């Protein structure tokens, strides 16, 4: 194990922290493998009901470490492994928050975009810097970013490699909230804890329906909603939600 991708828990919240601050949390091939293992562990855990992805010491992620070779693997083999990380995180049936403090560039920004929500500090910055390094976009950016900002704006950001501040990123719709540096993580964890006490099964279905909506017609989306709702109606959380409504109290969801 790389030991540079930490997995800890705060109640029902799993915290995945990139911990390579001397390199602004740039990720080696071994770290991508470790991240994939952690995401798969989270996916199989009933106790984990929300996820925070963050970086150590004032940086989120400076993208891939281009100096790490991945052993004898070819570039194609390395990128196929990166594909697995993107799909595992994006498809995770639990709400995810990227907590971005400092730079999130290249694959680091696209790692944040794989999460459901992006919370940032006022000093966070975002950039699709691939072209500056003579590279094409990766880590899902060609699919994720245009769906948030449109194809022309995505091309401009990728062609120019320009950096966005947190405020501009929020104006574009790629950041959910901008928070003070002081107390940032506690604010993120407070919201994540609310999600972790939510109806995890229902949130997972909602996430999947939204994530696939651009590929589906209205009719197909309605069919998906019908199937998901027929399953959630039978869940313990749906029963608890109905009881709480009748009893005029907050529900106490168990996640299934």
Query: Which pLDDT belongs to residue 235?
Result: 98
In this structure, which long-range contacts are made by residues 153-162, counting pairs with CB atoms below 8 Å and at least 24 apart in sequence? 154/128, 157/127, 157/128, 158/128, 158/130, 158/131, 159/131, 160/131, 161/127, 161/128, 161/129, 161/130, 161/131, 161/132, 162/127
Residue 77: per-residue pLDDT: 84
Query: Would you tell me how many other CB atoms lie within 10 Å of the CB of residue 220?
Result: 12
pLDDT in tens, 133-144: 999 999 999 999
pLDDT digits (tens, 9 = 90+) for 216-236: 999 999 999 999 999 999 999
Three-state DSSP state, 241:
helix
Quick one: pLDDT at residue 4? 95
Question: Above pLDDT 70, what percent of the chain?
Answer: 97
Span 193-200, average pLDDT: 98
Q: State pLDDT tens for residues 123-134.
A: 999 999 999 999
Model confidence over 37-56: pLDDT tens digits? 999 999 999 999 999 999 99
All CATH 3.90.226.10 domain ranges in the chain, comma separated? 5-196
Q: Where in the chain is the domain with CATH 1.10.12?
A: 200-247
Would you state the pLDDT for residue 230? Answer: 97
Query: Domain 5-196 is of which CATH architecture?
Result: Alpha-Beta Complex (3.90)
DSSP class per residue in 15-33: EEEE--GGGTT-B-HHHHH
Taking the CA atoms of 221, 36, 143 and 149 in sequence, report the sign of the dihedral they define. positive
Average pLDDT of the chain is 95
Q: Is the pLDDT of residue 189 over 70?
A: yes
Structure confidence by residue, pLDDT tens digits, 98-108? 999 999 999 99
Cα-Cα end-to-end distance for the chain: 32
Torsion of CA 38, 44, 45, 51, to 10 degrees: 50
Among the CATH numbers 1.10.12, 1.20.120, 1.10.3470, 3.40.50, which is that of 200-247?
A: 1.10.12
Burial of 82 (0-12, 13-18, 19+ CB in 10 A): buried
Under the banding of pLDDT at 50, 70 and 90, the label for residue 72 is low
pTM (2 d.p.): 0.94
C-alpha span between 213 and 211 (Å, rounded):
6
């Amino acid at each position: 194990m790389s030991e540079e991708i930490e997995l800890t828990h705060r109640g029902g919240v799993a915290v995945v922290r990139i911990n390579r601050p001397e390199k602004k949390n740039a990720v080696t091939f071994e770290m991508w493998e470790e991240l994939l293992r952690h995401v798969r562990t989270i996916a199989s855990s009933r106790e984990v009901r929300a996820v925070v992805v963050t970086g150590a010491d004032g940086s989120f992620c400076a993208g891939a470490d281009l100096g790490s070779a991945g052993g004898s693997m070819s570039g194609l083999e390395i990128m196929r492994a990166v594909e697995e990380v993107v799909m595992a995180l994006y498809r995770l049936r639990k709400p995810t928050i990227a907590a971005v403090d400092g730079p999130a560039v290249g694959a680091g920004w696209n790692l944040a975009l794989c999460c459901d929500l992006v919370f940032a500090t006022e000093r966070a910055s975002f950039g699709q810097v691939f072209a500056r390094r003579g590279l094409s976009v990766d880590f899902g950016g060609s699919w994720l970013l245009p769906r948030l900002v449109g194809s022309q704006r995505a091309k401009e950001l990728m062609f120019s490699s320009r950096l966005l501040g947190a405020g501009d990123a929020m104006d574009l719709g790629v950041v959910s909230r901008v928070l003070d540096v002081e107390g940032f993580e506690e604010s993120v964890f407070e919201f994540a804890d609310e999600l972790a006490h939510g109806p995890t099964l229902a949130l997972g279905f909602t996430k999947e329906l939204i994530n696939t909506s651009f590929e589906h017609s209205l009719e197909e989306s309605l069919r998906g909603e019908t199937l998901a709702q027929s399953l959630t109606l039978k869940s313990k959380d749906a029963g608890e939600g109905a009881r709480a409504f009748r009893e005029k109290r907050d529900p106490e969801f168990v996640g299934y």
